[in-house]
Amino acid sequence: MKVVFASTPDQQEKIMELIRQLYSDVFPNYFSDDEIAKFERLNVLHISSSQFEKLDTLKDAFQVITSLQTLISILESESLDEQYIETYYKNISILEQYGLNFPFEFQQFVDLKITGNNELSIYSKAANELLI
């Protein structure tokens, strides 16, 4: 007999939070608002309820969470060294196993890191908040 633990709503919320973090903290450093809007239309990192059903075990949900966290860490690092390439693609592969689309090559981010995106983005979190 094998005991399998089901994923929890908290894990699903964590996955959604990490996807939002990629869109609000990471993508604006590399892409314009128009490009990010296009990613949304193309369902980049979109996860539907049927895809959440594929994350039916604790292990599945943790693999997706860990892959998203790893990609965020790599893309937020100071320099995108070649030492990250294998890890980058391994984590994209894991996301794709669960139906999450992340269609970017590592070299795209390397090239964009050099040129940078200095525009203000509607996707970025506000630097401060006004309390009323």
Q: Could you report the average pLDDT of every consecutive run of 10 residues in the chain (132 residues)?
A: 64 92 93 93 86 77 95 93 94 94 94 69 57 50
| 53-90 confidence digits (pLDDT tens) | 777 778 888 999 999 999 999 999 988 889 999 999 99
Phi and psi torsions of 73, nearest 5° = -60, -45
Phi and psi torsions of 13, nearest 5° = -65, -40
Q: What is the dihedral of CA 7, 125, 67, 82, to 10 degrees?
A: 180
Cβ atoms of 125 and 40 within 8 Å: the answer is no
Q: Locate 53 and state its tokens.
A: 């059903």
The structure's pTM equals: 0.82
Closest CA relative to residue 77, chosen from 85, 93, 62? 85
Surface-to-core class of residue 53, CB atoms within 10 Å of its CB (0-12 exposed, 13-18 middle, 19+ buried): exposed
Residue 81 has what pLDDT? 87
Residue 112 has what pLDDT? 86
- Write down the number of H helices and E strands in the chain: 7, 0
